[in-house]
Amino acid sequence: MRDLHVSFPGESGPVRAVRGLGFELGAGESLAIVGESGSGKSATALAIMGLHPPAAAITGSIALHGEELLGRDDRGMSSLRGASMAMIFQDPLSALTPVHSIGHQIVEAIRLHRDIGTAPARARAVELLDLVGIADPQRRVRAFPHELSGGMRQRAMIAMAIANEPDVLIADEPTTALDVTVQAQVLEVLETARRESGAALLIVTHDLGVVAGVADRVTVMYAGRAIEQGNVDAIFHRPRMPYTIGLLGAVPRPDGAGGRTLTSIEGQPPPANAPPPGCPFAPRCPLAKPPCREREPELVPVGADAQRAACIRHEEIAADGLTHAEIFPSAATGDTSHDARPRERRPVVLELEAVKRHYPLFEGTLFRRRVGTVRAVDGIDLELRQGETLGLVGESGCGKSTTLLEILSLRPPNAGRISVLGIDVGEIPGRTARKALRRDLQVVFQDPMGSLDPRMAVFDLIAEPLGAFGTPPAERARRVEELLDLVGLEPLHAERYPRQLSGGQRQRVGIARALALEPKVLLLDEPVSALDVSIRAGVINLLERLRSTLDLSYLFVAHDLALIRHVADRVAVMYRGSIVETGEVERVYRHPAHPYTRALLAAAPIPDPALERARRRRLREDDPIDGSPRIGDRRANGERGNHRQPPIEPSYGRSRGERAASGGARPPGGDERASPMESPSGCGYRTRCTKRTTLGEFERRRCAEDTPRLLELSAASPASPGAAADTVHASACHFTEPPPATPTRAAHPTTPDR
Residue pLDDT, tens place only, 675-717: 555 555 788 898 888 888 888 889 899 998 898 998 888 643 4
Helix then strand then coil, % of the chain, to nearest 5? 35, 20, 45
Residue type at position 81: R
Confidence at residue 727, expressed as pLDDT on a 0 to 100 scale? 53
Alpha-carbon span 271 to 330, nearest angstrom: 24
Cα–Cα distance measured from residue 560 to residue 180, given in angstroms and rounded to the nearest whole number: 7
Q: Where are the domains of the chain?
A: 233-269+278-333, 441-518
Cβ atoms of 270 and 281 closer than 8 Å: no
pTM of the model: 0.82
**Contact between residue 417 and residue 352 where contact means Cβ atoms under 8 Å apart:** yes
Distances (CA, A) of 340 to 73, 344, 728: 68, 11, 19
Closest-CA residue to 380 (of 352, 422, 410): 352
Which regions in the chain score pLDDT beneath 50?
A: 257-258, 332-334, 618-673, 715-726, 742-754
Q: Write the DSSP symbol of residue 536.
A: H
Specify whether the CB–CB gap between 446 and 530 falls below 8 A: yes
Q: pLDDT tens digits for 136-195?
A: 899 999 999 988 877 788 889 989 998 998 999 999 988 876 788 888 888 888 887 787
Spatial distance between the Cα atoms of 190 and 175, rounded to a whole number of angstroms: 11
Report DSSP letters for 38-92, one per residue: TSSHHHHHHHHHT-S-TT-EEEEE-EETTEE-TT--HHHHHTTBTTTEEEE-S-H
Rounded to whole angstroms, how far apart are CA atoms 732 and 579?
Answer: 8
The two beta strands, 168-172 and 200-204, are: parallel
CA distance from start to end of the chain: 30
Residue 370 pairs in a beta bridge with 362
Q: What are the distances in angstroms from CA 187 to CA 158, 176, 182?
A: 10, 12, 9
Reduced to 3 states (helix: H, G, I; strand: E, B; else coil), residue 693 is helix
Residue 218 forms beta bridges with which residues? 32, 230
Give the integer Cα–Cα distance in Å for 708 and 364. Answer: 36
Total Cβ atoms within 10 A of residue 613 = 11
Nearest CA among 445, 435, 420, 599 for reference residue 510: 445
**283 CB-contact burial (10 Å; exposed 0-12 / middle 13-18 / buried 19+):** middle
Could you tell me which of 235, 231, 165 has the C-alpha nearest to residue 193?
165
**Count of alpha carbons within 13 Å of 306, Cβ hemisphere only?**
10
Signed CA dihedral, 245, 251, 256, 257: sign only: positive
Distance CA 322, CA 575 (A): 43
Please, how many CA atoms are within 13 Å of residue 593, restricted to the half-sphere of its CB?
A: 35
Strand (E) or helix (H) holding 88: strand 85-88
Sign of the four-CA dihedral 70, 76, 82, 83: negative
